[in-house]
Every structure is written in structure tokens, then in C-alpha cells.
Amino acid sequence: MTRFYFPRVNTPPSAFQINGARNGYWDSVRSTTTALMVTSKTGFDEEPTAANSWTHTSPAGSDPQKAMFGQWVSPALGAQTISGTIKGVFKSGVITSGRTVRADCRVYVVDSTGAWVATVYAGDGSGAGTSFVLIGTYTTRYYPDDGTNTLTSYACANNDRLIVELGCRVHSASSANVGINVGVDSYVDASDSESGTGFITGWFDFSATLSWATAGGGARSSAAVAMGGFHEQDDPDLASWKRRRSGLLVRA
């Protein structure tokens, strides 16, 4: 299993700043800034509180209206087959009364230039799942909304990357103000449930143990990454960013 965390701010290499929705799935988009997802909470201080929530007003239109909260890109993948299931847990809520809102997401693969190559989870346009609570307290919901969803298998190449988009479906032709709690902090991971509140960190799991690209075309396992992090030869852009974040001097 591979668990990702979704920072509010974490700039990826320039080729992967997709900055917007792909393939016309979403009817509206809260943010056009792509962030780099991470496998460790170390070094982040983004309290996942209601005050730091992302909110978005979906426009009136067809029922359902599909609204995207944000978009995240993975580190570079090694050559492998993407398969298995996905499950995310994030605190969410609806601010407009009288609206039924359910979680949704999409997952696809881009190549080393940032170009789309395959969709492995195309989203859920159904009316299934648990509706967001009317906000008094943000409460966890599954992304996608039935908890675990099967991916369409795809054999990716070395240096491909995953893109995950989180959003929701507003089951109304009228507009609705909706919100999600994303961000990475040292707080405990959210429980695998739809009842979590308070100071917890949301997460997004792939059932498979993903492996990461190396300069020689091989792959590093998730366990190796967790133990030793990326090396500069594995992903120079990411390694450079991590050194800058830590305050280390980088000489030409």
C-alpha cells in the first residue's frame, strides 16, 4: 500500500504544473494550482483546521454539478503496472443548506513531459455515497464516495506520474458553497471512517506498493523512499526543492 498526503502548497517541477482540470470532467474548478503530493508529513506545518479549509461555490447548472477542489501530482514513477484500488479520507462539508453533496475524484497518468497518457479512475457520476454534512464541523468523507474503488490497469513508463483530482458532486441545479480540509501536518492520520473531526490529517491510499523512478530506468520502492528519501539522481527537480526547503545551500 502507498499512502499520500496532499499539501495545500508544494510546487512540483514546471512540466507538471498542470494547473487545471483535464478532459472536461469538472464543471467548475476552485484552484488551478497543482501541488506535489508527498508520502511523509515531515517538514510540513499546514494545520487542517476549519479556518484553513478550501471553499468553492459551484455555479447553477445541470444536476449534478461536478466541482474540483484541487489537483496533486505524484513523484516520478518507475516502470510498473498501476492497478488495484484507491481510497481517500478528507474532512469535508457543505455550507449552503438544502444541498446534497457527495465526494468525487479522478486519477490519471501523465508522461515525463506532463502530457496525459491514461485515465485509471474516471470519476463517479452516480448518486451513491454519504452526503457532506452541513458545516458546523467538518467531518471526514471517503474519496471516491463509496470508500474503495478499482483502478483501470495501466502499464506506465519510467518517469510517468499520477495526477489525483479531488472534488464533489452537487446534486442540485442550484449553486452550492462546499468545502474540504486539505493540508499536511504532524497530526495523526484520519481514521478509516466517515465520522472523523478535529485535528487530523487527510490521506489518499493506493492499494499497490508503488515504486519510484531512477536515472537508470529502474525503480525505488515506497519503503526505500520512506527510509532514505529521494536522491538527486532519482528526481533532480524534487531533490533540489527539498534542499531549498530545508535551507541547505545549493551550489552550481
Q: Per residue in 167-194, is it b (16+ CB within 10 Å) or e — as a string?
A: bbbbebeebbbbbbbbbbbebeebeeeb
The percent of residues above 70 in pLDDT, for the chain, comes to 80
Tell me, what's the pLDDT at 221? 53
Q: Does the pLDDT value for residue 233 go beyond 50?
A: no
Tell me, what's the pLDDT at 169? 92
Strand pairing class (203-206; 85-94): antiparallel
Q: Where are the beta strands (DSSP E) in the chain?
A: 2-4, 28-29, 34-36, 54-58, 65-73, 80-82, 85-94, 101-110, 116-121, 139-143, 149-150, 154-156, 161-170, 176-180, 203-206, 211-213, 219-221
Q: Which residue has the cell 502499464?
A: 155
Tell me, what's the pLDDT at 24? 78
CA distance 131 to 145: 9
Mean pLDDT of the chain: 84
CA distance 25 to 153: 20
Q: Which residue has the cell 455515497?
A: 129
Predicted TM-score (pTM) of this structure: 0.84
CA-angle at 50, arms to 37 and 180, nearest 5°: 45
Tell me, what's the pLDDT at 129? 82
Q: Does the pLDDT value for residue 238 go beyond 60?
A: no
3 state SS of 52: helix
CA distance 47 to 16: 26
CA distance 77 to 90: 24
Residues 227-239: what's their mean pLDDT? 43
The closest alpha carbon to 130, from 177, 194, 66, belongs to: 194
CA distance 36 to 27: 23
